[in-house]
Structure 1
Amino acid sequence: MTVANDSTGGTASQRAFTVSAELSMTLTAQGPHDERALNLLRDAAAVLSDPARWNAPYEVALSCCRGAIDSILNLAPKDIEGIEAATRAVTDAAKATVDAWRTDQQVPDGLLDALAAAVDALRTEEGNPGGRRIRQIGHLVQELTRQEMGLAEAEAVRNSWTRFYRDTSGVVHGSGATPEESRERFEGVVAAFEQLFLGLPERAERLRQLASSERPSPQDAAEIASMSDPRAGSYFFRAAVSRNWLGLLPVDRLLPEASRWPALPYLRRQLAADPARVCAWVEQHRAAIEARGTGAVGMAVSLVAEAGMTACALLQQIARAQQDRHVLLRISYWARDVPVSGRTGQWVRVVEDVLRQPSFGAQEPWDAAQLAGTLA
């Protein structure tokens, strides 16, 4: 997306909005839904570039943006449902339950089970705002990249596609729009389209610029946070150099997941440069890591274990709180790798905490014996 000054030079009183040639070519090649979305984005750009020609330019622009979003969401399978379908299921189950009670003065267990399941499904949807839009875009991401979105990409979609769908829906239902809102939302919608449809070759130069930046800005961090393509995030973290990303990026973009950790290469480089800082960061976000499951905790342990005794206090906290044998096994590997000359009283307490966990001795007897032998 290009935003240019007007032809008079200096500070422009009126900006020219366009859709980039790369995005235009990509959408044109995709099919009729994508081409319709492109035409609507171009119409929105034309309206915002010359609003004086229109009676309600900002409402028209947002209506075009909403139509463009709908065109892309229509590419996803129709059986991807959301809170509306969950609400209908609760209503139908409740009606069936009431009808049964009025007819027989009792409710069969099957109807109650169906109602309970429908209510649980509705609660899940309520706890995941915009879940249907996220699943729709997730399907398209997988089709385009052959990779599933992770939690960071899903959050990026929630903050872009889901938000812009909600924000542009207002004008469809009779709300007004300000110039600032319309311009910001148009730019956001186009950026979301670029994140979804532009491949790595088209975005490689910008990704290299971000990764090689020594002093990234909050705007740069917001751009990384908005990535819905898992390949882009992985590419960036393999090359990112600045220590400042650790404080700039949203935590969700940096945390491990149950079975993947795109930010791990970056964090390993930071650990090698400043082990105390990375161990402190993991300790700060330990609760969020634990909430993602024992797989995430195990990966975090493997990372900080590379810091040697710098990680001792953190690993002691984890050893006392964890009963998962895989996490404890990784802590035991760390303990055995610490040179004898570097072992302290705290190291001894970590070993004892691991050995006290019943799950470790029962499920990993050989490793438990090896670890106990390090105390001799």
Structure 2
Amino acid sequence: MSFGVPLLLVTLVFVPVLLGAYVWQLRRRRRQVVRFSNVALLRAAGAGSASWKRHVPIALVLGALALLGLASARPTVRASVPTSSATVIVALDVSGSMCATDVVPNRLSAAQAAVRSFVQGQADGTKVGLVVFSGFAELAVAPTANRDEVLSAIDAVTTGRGTTIGAAILRSIDAIAELDPNVAPADAVDEPSTDGPGLAQPTPSATPSAAPGGSGGVSGVAADKAPEIIVLLTDGANTRGVTPAQAAEQAAARGVRVYPIGFGTTHPTQMACTRDQYGGFSVPRVRDAGGIGRGSPGGRNFLVVDVAALEGVARTTGGKYFAATDAEGLTKVLADLPRHVTVSEQDVDLSAAVGVFAAVLLLGGLAISLRRST
């Protein structure tokens, strides 16, 4: 056990002082009683009750004062916190390649259905947030226990040009930082676009800072594992902005684990968005089953999962990489994900619990005193 304000433990000194004063008062009364000549009558008067019972009220009061002094010092203990009592940020890729029909009916429809099931299957105590990303990353729904709000946002996503995996991780970190004071917001990273002008990458909203709990915003600094996690679902490769490796370093420095899921086959086929999914971008062409879509500088096929990058993210942050090539496989991966998420060691503040116990003792002592006096 540790204490947030250990200096306040000095208040516990008052408990033995009050106990000494009480014992002194009892002895003083005993000397006065001896002066009464009829000792047999005094013994008969006190024979109806056990002598120790009259000390119970003061014992309860002193115990309550000791607990209040302990609570004022903010005691904390190290405990295992399961994922079900924390926050899950789902970062969903909505780039144009998610319209590929190598997964029936297309990648995005299959992903929406699987993510819906995942959200609905979370425990009641879990808050779920949604980050969507294509040419930039956006927090669609802040972490909430309201499942309907998250499900509505999943159904309403539209596709866009580009894939910003790194930015999605940073946005997810910011969403976690809003809830957890032990997680610092993401550091701003100014990276040029790599897939053409006109879709500037917004930098994260926060500047470098240090978390109160020691999980600072400096890359490379080891941190305790946070109870919050990021589930990153993408079907392609990072095309612009901060790289997944850079973002992973920031997540690792804050103890935030990322569980990337690579979705889709290695042979993307025709693009076919529904009317609701189409975001007004120019759909890239696929030259052949293993071809490279238009706008793929350096020979990189951005329509195929960058497994090496995602495995690196998982390795850096302490998460795990998963692959799914069809709708059924994706649903299974998401359903099994909680089994792979280990508990985290966190400092749990006991001040409130100790304070409540102190109040119970105080009320108990008062009730016994009132009963004895009537």
In terms of fraction of residues, the more strand-rich structure is: 2
- The structure, 1 or 2, with the larger RCO (C-alpha pairs under 8 Å, 6+ apart) is 2
Question: Going by fraction, where is helix more abundant, 1 or 2?
Answer: 1
Q: Same fold (TM over 0.5)?
A: no
Scaled to the shorter chain, the TM-score interval is under 0.3
State the TM-score, normalized to the length of structure 2: 0.21
Question: Whose Rg is larger?
Answer: 2
TM-score scaled by length of structure 1 = 0.21
